[in-house]
Amino acid sequence: MRVWNKVTKRIAAAVLVSSVAATALMGCGGSEAPKETNNAEETTKGGKILLMANSSSGPMYDFNLAYMDMWTEELGYTYEVIYGDAANDPAGNLNAVKNAMTSDVVGLITMQDGGITDIMAEYPELYVAGVGSDMASVYSEGGASAAAAENDHFLGTVAPGYVDGIEVGKMFAKAIEDAGYKKIAVCMSPAFAYPQYAIADQTIRAEIEAYNETAEEPIEVVDDEATVLMFKPLDDTFFNEPDHKDLDAIVGLCGGQMFVYPTLTNAIGNGTANPDTKLLTLGLEGADDLVADVGTGIVQQLYVPNFEEIFFPIVMIDNAIQGKQYSDFTKSEVLDGVYVSITSDEIMTNIEENSPLLSADMSKTSVSIEVGKEYLTRYNPDATYADLKEFMASDAFSEKAYEK
Amino acid sequence: MEMKSNAAKGKKLHSKNAAMIASYGGLIFCIVLFTIVTPLKGESIWSPTKLATLMSDVIVTALMSVGAVFIYALGNLDISIGKQIGLYAAVMVTVGNLTGSLIPGILLCIALSMVIAVINGASGPLLNIIPIIPSVVVMQVLSGIITVIFATLGTRSITLKTIDYSIFKSPVLMLVVLVIEVAVAVFLFNYTAIGKQARMLGANKVSASQSGVSTVKVRVLCYIIAGICFVVAAIFQMGYTGSASDSTGTGFEMNIMVALILGGMPISGGMRSRISAAVVGAFTFSLLDVGLPMVGLPTRMTFIVKAIVFLVVVLITSRSKKSNVLPK
């Protein structure tokens, strides 16, 4: 029996070693060295673009892969997804880039800002642009990566929605007033990670206070400040507080479908929360039941940064690699992202049926190859950065783009 | 009769060296594989850039793992290591920015590491609890302290403002420090009473105690040696980007465990423990990190390959019932 066990172990080990070798060798499919494609008209440069993602699953991840497939094929690049540190640790991000670095890498699209300065110091020829991140460490005064803002290889970023917390606060305050909620609570991700949400919380309170001065029926915002969620879902004990039992709505300054929705659903289910309590929040999870709930169930309003904004770093990096940057682009900046505002069941249905945001179906993209070519200087030498900025702020990225 | 005896001897020798063969074999396999395959992709694992990347990838894990050998040899497991690194990095940056020098911060971290070592090392035998429990408590306390530090500072990461930290990016310095640490650790582990008694305790606590080994004293000293190694690792972790964040060090204790097991360290400690396991395992781990993307393997696949390699080594090295159990 002992001998048999040993033999089995050795066979298993041999099989596994072989599979390691086979898996590793499967990757060998030809040279990935940067190449120049000779078109009839001119020479275009290729190479590999790294996409440093902040997640490894979900609708945004699937969309980004499909979108990168579409654009890199069109533009003659390859790309590889790498995973930044889950908590945006500078060393973790630098390590992720270093380990994936090969001689053909020419650009980096990053969804995290930790360690940007170090990455750019390590690879000075690399063009870097961001998406889904306000790059606070780059653009805030005294930020850890502030040096990147002055680097001519850093090409800017698009924030996941408004950069300024005041604008976020005003957006939610208006939504509350318009919906007629009379008693609300605010939950948010910690201010040391998302300082703009602390500002948004204060703005909501200030806006509602101003509204109450003339309102017939005032709105009550419970607690002096938002309940802070330390990167984990709202605690069940939240609804044990007498003030939280009869709320009309909770504003989730966070990925509310992940951090607030499950607790609220449970609390409604077990009778500790008002069954009519609604959730207004940010972000979009792809699960069917969550999608079905938006606009009809607990989640009344959802503000989703449009995934299609990844078009911005693709354009900026391609222009730079081709040596054809916009003539009016002088310095990188952070652009406000456009929210896809899902405030009704009808809009949610539009997003499901007519957008690529949940399906990653590129035939439904609002920034198709044809539309996008207008902003790429390799196709349109007259394209300007001002045009691109205007486009990035347009309804091509809002829920209106998916109306039929 | 003689043949039988020779066969038994050979079997024993093979069994004794199986872990070493498996771990060195894994490292050699990785070196050979990447040396042959990477040129086919127009890359080279031996290019100065990639060697520098390898060194920066391996240094923190190797420095920590060398220290952790003293803890694992006891048959113990310390899961507070990651948070210790996080705290030390945060302290070094904060004190560095306040004083304009890294020295006070490093000294403070050494003092902190001693306190943590005493708690982790002594409370197990003194309170008669499983040694992993104090490390769980320490981990949670340190986690809380780190959260308070960063919440108070109002940011997720802090950076050295005026101190030049570029020296810590030098692969040569990394190599020199690693060699010195390994040399000191080998000396302490193999040629002093501390190392021998640590292994004795790991092999058989009752027998070691009855032979006059002071359980508490040896444990505390082992944790202190490990703690100093963790501070050295934290210097390089912090010096890599001149920064610390609220997530610095997260999961490092798992990296150590994987590196040690890949290096052929018996996970129950004891007499077969050796310092080389830390270095071999850390280099194998990092070679996979650096080499697999170079042969065109997507990043998401590297996790699977690393897991398979890990499984293979565990299969080969888990020969006895004892080595199948996690340290207490």
State whether A174 and A300 are in the same domain: yes
Contact A89 B290 (CB under 8 A): no
Q: Is it the case that residue B162 has pLDDT exceeding 80? A: yes
- Average pLDDT of A166-180? 96
Q: What are the beta bridge partners of residue A342?
A: A302
Mean per-residue pLDDT of chain A: 89
Q: Tell me the C-alpha distance between B53 and A223, whole Å.
A: 50
Within 8 A by CB and 6+ apart from A210, the residues are none
Contact status of A24 with chain B (Cβ, < 8 Å): yes
* Residues from chain A contacting residue B240 (CB–CB below 8 Å): 91, 94, 118
Total domain count, chain A:
2
Residue numbers of A between 144 and 203 with CB closer than 8 Å to B: 144, 190-193, 195
Contact A20 B159 (CB under 8 A): no
* Residues from chain B contacting residue A23 (CB–CB below 8 Å): 297, 301, 304-305, 308
- Average pLDDT of B79-102? 96
Q: Tell me the C-alpha distance between A49 and A319, whole Å.
A: 13
CA A121 vs. chain centroid, Å, equals 25
pLDDT score at B324: 46
Chain A: residue nearest B252 by CA? A92
Chain B: residue nearest A87 by CA? B247
Residue A283: CATH number of its domain: 3.40.50.2300
State whether A174 and A296 are in the same domain: yes
> B66 vs A296, which has greater pLDDT?
B66
Contact status of A46 with chain B (Cβ, < 8 Å): no
H or E element that contains A186:
strand A183-188
Q: Name which of A9, A48, A98 to mutate to probe chain B: the one with the most chain B Cβ atoms within 10 A of its Cβ.
A: A98
Instruction: Give whole-number Cα distances, A51 to A300, A318, A324, A359, B164, in Å.
Output: 33, 14, 22, 20, 30
Q: Are A97 and A105 in contact (CB under 8 A)?
A: no
Residue numbers of A between 82 and 141 with CB closer than 8 Å to B: 82-83, 85-92, 94-96, 98-104, 114-115, 118, 137
Domain that residue A50 falls in: 36-158+306-338+362-397
Chain A: residue nearest B60 by CA? A91
H or E element that contains A304:
strand A299-305
pLDDT over 70 for what percent of chain B? 90
Residue A24 lies in a domain: no
Within 8 A by CB and 6+ apart from A274, the residues are A245, A246, A247, A248, A268
pLDDT score at B19: 63
- Average pLDDT of A40-65? 86
pLDDT score at A26: 43
Contact A195 B154 (CB under 8 A): yes
- Average pLDDT of A185-191? 95
State whether A171 and A300 are in the same domain: yes
Q: How confident is the model at residue B148 (pLDDT cuts 50, 70, 90)?
A: very high
Residue A21 lies in a domain: no
Q: Is it the case that residue B269 has pLDDT exceeding 60? A: yes
* Residues from chain B contacting residue A19 (CB–CB below 8 Å): 308
Give Dmax over CA atoms of chain B in angstroms.
76
Nearest to A144 by CA among A200, A88, A102: A88
The stretches of chain B forming alpha helices (DSSP H) are 2-37, 48-73, 81-99, 103-127, 132-153, 171-191, 193-203, 205-210, 215-241, 252-262, 276-294, 299-317
Contact B241 A104 (CB under 8 A): no
Annotate A39-94 with DSSP letters as a single string. Answer: -SS-EEE-EEEEEEES-SSSHHHHHHHHHHHHHHHHHTEEEEEEE--TT--HHHHH
pLDDT score at A42: 60
Residue A22 lies in a domain: no
Residue A191 lies in a domain: yes
Residue A353 lies in a domain: no
- For CA atoms B195, B200, B201, B206, the dihedral sign is negative
Question: Of B157, B243, B297, which has the smallest distance from its Cβ to A24's Cβ?
Answer: B297
Residue numbers of A between 327 and 356 with CB closer than 8 Å to B: none
Retrieve residue B146's tokens.
């780190």
pLDDT score at A285: 87
Mean per-residue pLDDT of chain B: 88
**Complex ipTM more than 0.90, yes or no:** no
pLDDT score at A8: 52
Q: Are A90 and B249 in contact (CB under 8 A)?
A: no
Among A136-145, A383-392, B114-123, B310-319, which stretch is predicted with the lowest mean pLDDT? B310-319
Q: Is it the case that residue B236 has pLDDT exceeding 90? A: yes
B2 CB-contact burial (10 Å; exposed 0-12 / middle 13-18 / buried 19+): exposed
Q: How confident is the model at residue A192 (pLDDT cuts 50, 70, 90)?
A: confident
Contact status of A15 with chain B (Cβ, < 8 Å): no
Nearest to A238 by CA among A289, A274, A204: A274
pLDDT score at B114: 97
pLDDT score at A68: 97
pLDDT score at A2: 54
Within 8 A by CB and 6+ apart from B41, the residues are A27, A28, A31, A32, A102, B294, B295, B296
CA dihedral A240, A241, A245, A251 (to 10 degrees): -110
Contact status of A371 with chain B (Cβ, < 8 Å): no
pLDDT over 90 for what percent of chain A? 76
Set out the domains of chain B in order of their start, with CATH numbers. Answer: 46-323 (1.10.3470)
pLDDT score at B300: 78
Q: Name which of B50, B53, B168, B241 to mutate to probe chain A: the one with the most chain A Cβ atoms within 10 A of its Cβ.
A: B241
- Domain end point (choices A256, A280, A305): A305
Within 8 A by CB and 6+ apart from B219, the residues are B74, B76, B121, B122, B124, B125, B131, B201
> A198 vs A296, which has greater pLDDT?
A198
Q: What is the DSSP letter of A213?
A: T
* Residues from chain B contacting residue A103 (CB–CB below 8 Å): 42-43
Q: Looking at CA atoms only, how far is residue B38 from chain A in angstroms?
A: 9
Q: How confident is the model at residue A57 (pLDDT cuts 50, 70, 90)?
A: confident
Instruction: Give whole-number Cα distances, B256 to A124, A161, B26, B243, B267, in Å.
Output: 32, 40, 17, 22, 11
Contact status of A215 with chain B (Cβ, < 8 Å): no
Q: Tell me the C-alpha distance between A97 and A266, whole Å.
A: 41
SS3 content of chain A, % helix, strand, coil (to 5): 45, 20, 40
Helix, strand or coil, per DSSP, at residue A221: strand
Report the b/e string of A19-45 with b at 16+ CB within 10 A.
ebeebbeebeeeebebeeeeeeeeebb
Q: Are B163 and B148 in contact (CB under 8 A)?
A: no
Residue A386 lies in a domain: yes
- Domain end point (choices A289, A305, A321): A305
Q: Is it the case that residue B78 has pLDDT exceeding 80? A: yes
Q: Is it the case that residue B16 has pLDDT exceeding 60? A: no
- Domain end point (choices A262, A288, A305): A305
Beta carbon pairs, A and B, within 8 Å: 144
State whether A115 and A41 are in the same domain: yes
Among A11-20, A89-98, B24-33, which stretch is predicted with the lowest mean pLDDT? A11-20
pLDDT score at A36: 52
Query: φ and ψ at A90, to 5 degrees?
Result: -55, -45
Q: Tell me the C-alpha distance between B208 and B203, whole Å.
A: 8
Q: Are B88 and B113 in contact (CB under 8 A)?
A: yes
Residue A315 lies in a domain: yes
Neighbours of B238 (CB within 10 A): 32
* Residues from chain A contacting residue B245 (CB–CB below 8 Å): 87-90, 114
Q: Is it the case that residue B13 has pLDDT exceeding 60? A: no
State whether A369 and A325 are in the same domain: yes
Q: How confident is the model at residue A34 (pLDDT cuts 50, 70, 90)?
A: low
Q: Looking at CA atoms only, how far is residue B62 from chain A in angstroms?
A: 15
Q: Is it the case that residue B321 has pLDDT exceeding 50? A: no
Q: Are A66 and A356 in contact (CB under 8 A)?
A: yes
Helix, strand or coil, per DSSP, at residue A183: strand
pLDDT score at A66: 96
Query: φ and ψ at B122, to 5 degrees?
Result: -90, -30
State whether A176 and A296 are in the same domain: yes
State whether A258 and A312 are in the same domain: no
Contact B295 A25 (CB under 8 A): yes
Q: Looking at CA atoms only, how far is residue B187 from chain A in angstroms?
A: 32
Question: Of B246, B248, B297, which has the smallest distance from its Cβ to A91's Cβ?
Answer: B248
A382 CB-contact burial (10 Å; exposed 0-12 / middle 13-18 / buried 19+): exposed
* Residues from chain A contacting residue B310 (CB–CB below 8 Å): none
State whether A191 and A212 are in the same domain: yes
State whether A153 and A172 are in the same domain: no
Residue A5 lies in a domain: no
Contact A144 B243 (CB under 8 A): yes
Q: Is it the case that residue A11 has pLDDT exceeding 60? A: no
State whether A132 and A209 are in the same domain: no
State whether A176 and A288 are in the same domain: yes
State whether A141 and A42 are in the same domain: yes
* Residues from chain B contacting residue A124 (CB–CB below 8 Å): none
Q: Tell me the C-alpha distance between A146 and A334, whole Å.
A: 13
Q: Looking at CA atoms only, how far is residue A192 from chain B in angstroms?
A: 4
